[in-house]
Structure 1
Amino acid sequence: MSSSSSFRTVMAERPIQLDSIQRQPGTLVRKGPSSGLRRRLLLALIAAPLSAFAVGETAGQRGELRRWGSGEFRRFGFLVYEATLWAADDPVRPPLALKLTYRRNIDGELIAEASIKEIRKLGMADKATLNRWGELMTGLFPDVKPGDSIVGHYLPEGARFTFNEQPLGSIDDPAFARAFFAIWLDPNTSEPDLRAALLTRPTAG
């Protein structure tokens, strides 16, 4: 259990429908090079669950989800992001969605790098696969600033992402989606307190 993490439950937000997100067939979204001046410090700051998910009342064929739990991820006492999970009756199987609202400036390349680091810890892919996934995420994830949000949608066919409610792109690989969302939801996550907060069952009503 990480002594550097602090979590809380927050009030429900406006639900989002999965079918309202336009599918993006392309995998990579290129952007300009990041400065990298704070690379080492930021990587240390975010080298635990990072990088992306939102959704409705009941789970059905159209991917409507309801809100589960929320929590905060902190590193070295700094609030890095707030996370909220939407899911059906089983909060660790697709379809589900996880929203990260960032509270610090972080390069997209570092988000991808930290995500690969966590997947490697879970032992869910070999080196070649990790390298390929890392390249895809580096091309996909944008630099973020306080208030920006990335929503990752875990679907049977892969993962779809939005940035500030705008379509960002997708990685159409079920193995990637399973490994990526395991960063937060696997029993062996490096942040078990955050996992417990996200998996808090929603109250009836």
Structure 2
Amino acid sequence: MPCISGGRTAALSLILAATLAGAPVIAADMELAGVRVPEQLSEGGRALTLNGAGLRTKFVVKVYVAALYTTVKSSDAAALINSTEPRRIRLQLLRDVDSKSLDGALQEGLRDNTPKQELAALKDPADRLSRLMADIGTAKEGDVVDLDFDARGVTITANGKQRGRIDSPEFARALLRVWLGDNPAQTSLKKALLGN
């Protein structure tokens, strides 16, 4: 009878040998709720890798698939929030959502994860976010909203078209806490974004 464990060892040895020899390791996309989630993206010429992805639901209704992309994978929420490296939250809508509802959810997440004094200091960038969401209008099923975070702030893009930028590192960190903070929009989604 053939030894299964020996076959596994041989296969692992071949994979390891190929990796050490510099052979490319092919990253695989994943699918979640019928949405293809790419394993890699690029931002400003830098490769971003899928850190984790999950489903946002509200009252059992599927709202969007969220994916977090980073330069280096991490399960440490605080490190990801405070990083100055490029990061992207991609929201792929699973239903139509009007801009007022989308902005309301983001503003609620900001309130839930930001101390009152800090939130008051972030009023101007929070208002700017509301205006940008209003400019996007109703996000339709299948639409993609990207939030690109860097050392200086956050850029909002809808369906590949840049809608605007908010230059405030403090606000960028507060906005990331909507998904990764102590009181996230959805605990199971936070865990999924952190790769757990």
Question: How far off is 1:133 after superposition?
Answer: 3.1
SS in 1 for 2:47: coil
1:175 aligns with 2:170: yes
Q: Is the 8 A contact 1:87 1:96 kept in 2?
A: yes
- Percent identity over the alignment is 26
Amino acid at match of 2:108: K
Q: CA separation of 1:13/1:90 partners in 2, compared to 1, >3 Å: closer, same or farther?
A: closer
SS in 2 for 1:105: coil
- 2:189 maps to what in 1? 194
Of residues 139, 159, 166, the one that matches 1:144 is 139
Report which structure shows greater RCO (CA 8 Å, sep ≥6).
1
Which consecutive segments of 4 or more residues in structure 1 shift more than 4 A?
none
Q: CA separation of 1:124/1:153 partners in 2, compared to 1, >3 Å: closer, same or farther?
A: farther
Give the Cα–Cα distance (whole angstroms) in 2 for the partners of residues 166 and 190 of structure 1.
26
Q: Is the 8 A contact 1:116 1:130 kept in 2?
A: no
- 1:147-166 pair list within 5 angstroms: 147-166=142-161
- 1:44-193 pair list within 5 angstroms: 63-89=46-72, 91=74, 92=80, 93=83, 94-126=85-117, 128-141=120-133, 142=136, 143-193=138-188
Q: Is the 8 A contact 2:154 2:168 kept in 1?
A: yes
Q: CA separation of 1:78/1:157 partners in 2, compared to 1, >3 Å: closer, same or farther?
A: same
Q: CA separation of 1:65/1:125 partners in 2, compared to 1, >3 Å: closer, same or farther?
A: farther
Give the Cα–Cα distance (whole angstroms) in 1 for the partners of residues 90 and 126 of structure 2.
20
Amino acid at match of 1:137: L
| Gap runs ≥5 in structure 2 | 1-31, 75-79
Q: CA separation of 1:63/1:188 partners in 2, compared to 1, >3 Å: closer, same or farther?
A: farther
Question: How far off is 1:190 after superposition?
Answer: 4.0
| Gap runs ≥5 in structure 1 | 1-6, 20-61
Q: CA separation of 1:103/1:137 partners in 2, compared to 1, >3 Å: closer, same or farther?
A: same
Amino acid at match of 1:186: G
Give the Cα–Cα distance (whole angstroms) in 2 for the partners of residues 69 and 104 of structure 1.
21
Question: How far off is 1:12 after superposition?
Answer: 4.6
What TM-score do you get using the length of structure 1 for normalisation?
Answer: 0.66
Residue by residue over 1:171-192, the C-alpha shift from the partner in whole angstroms, topping out at 9 and shown as x without a partner, is 0110110000111112432422
* Count of aligned pairs: 153
What TM-score do you get using the length of structure 2 for normalisation?
Answer: 0.69
Which protein has the larger Cα radius of gyration, Structure 1 or Structure 2? 2
